[in-house]
Amino acid sequence: MMKRALSILLAAGLLAGCGGGDDGPAAGEGTANGAESEGGGVQVAMEGIAYAPTDVEVRVGQPVTWTNNDEVMHDVIASGGEFESELFGEGETYSFTPTEPGTIDYVCSIHPNMMASITVVE
């Protein structure tokens, strides 16, 4: 619980420090539960050195796809070892499909303040 609260505070501080007046993801980029893609998966944007949205909920077997919209490289690494992407650049994607319920916290290894989580339900 404390780890999740710290993640939210750090992400909020990072977003506040980025400026630009962005009040959230642009239309079609996500909601509190992420934007569902045509194939039933959830989309997470990587932009402004942050994940958007930071917390998503998916069902077992429902893919999550990250799209790097930044000009810098990012990766997606689960703290529990469930997945680990290679570094990928602007316009590139990475997908993961969870196989069991639970919460998966993840981070970008290059930008440690870039943290988020996936809640997987049955």
Q: Please indicate, yes or no, if residue 25 is contained in any of the structural domains.
A: no
pLDDT at position 35, please? 54
- What is the pLDDT averaged over residues 9-28? 34
pLDDT at position 40, please? 81
Q: Please indicate, yes or no, if residue 72 is contained in any of the structural domains.
A: yes
Q: Which domain holds residue 114?
A: 2-19+36-121
Q: Please indicate, yes or no, if residue 64 is contained in any of the structural domains.
A: yes
Q: How confident is the model at residue 108 (pLDDT cuts 50, 70, 90)?
A: very high
Decide if 111 contacts 49 (C-beta within 8 A). Answer: yes
- What is the pLDDT averaged over residues 108-121? 98
Q: What is the total count of domains within the chain?
A: 1
Q: Which residue has the higher pLDDT, 7 or 67?
A: 67
In this prediction the pTM is 0.70
Q: Is the pLDDT of residue 67 over 60?
A: yes
Q: Please indicate, yes or no, if residue 11 is contained in any of the structural domains.
A: yes
- What is the pLDDT averaged over residues 53-58? 98
Q: Please indicate, yes or no, if residue 77 is contained in any of the structural domains.
A: yes
CATH code where residue 85 lies: 2.60.40.420
Q: Is the pLDDT of residue 75 over 90?
A: yes
Q: Please indicate, yes or no, if residue 86 is contained in any of the structural domains.
A: yes
User: The tokens 């440690």 sit on which residue?
Assistant: 112
- What is the pLDDT averaged over residues 58-83? 98
Q: Please indicate, yes or no, if residue 116 is contained in any of the structural domains.
A: yes
In sequence order, what DSSP letters do the residues of the chain get, joined into one string? -HHHHHHHHHHHHHHHHH-TT--SPPTTT--TT-EEPTTS-EEEEE-SSSEESSEEEEETT--EEEEE-SSS-B--EETTSS-BPPPB-TT-EEEE---S-EEEEEE-SS-TT-EEEEEEE-
- What is the pLDDT averaged over residues 94-117? 98
Q: Please indicate, yes or no, if residue 58 is contained in any of the structural domains.
A: yes
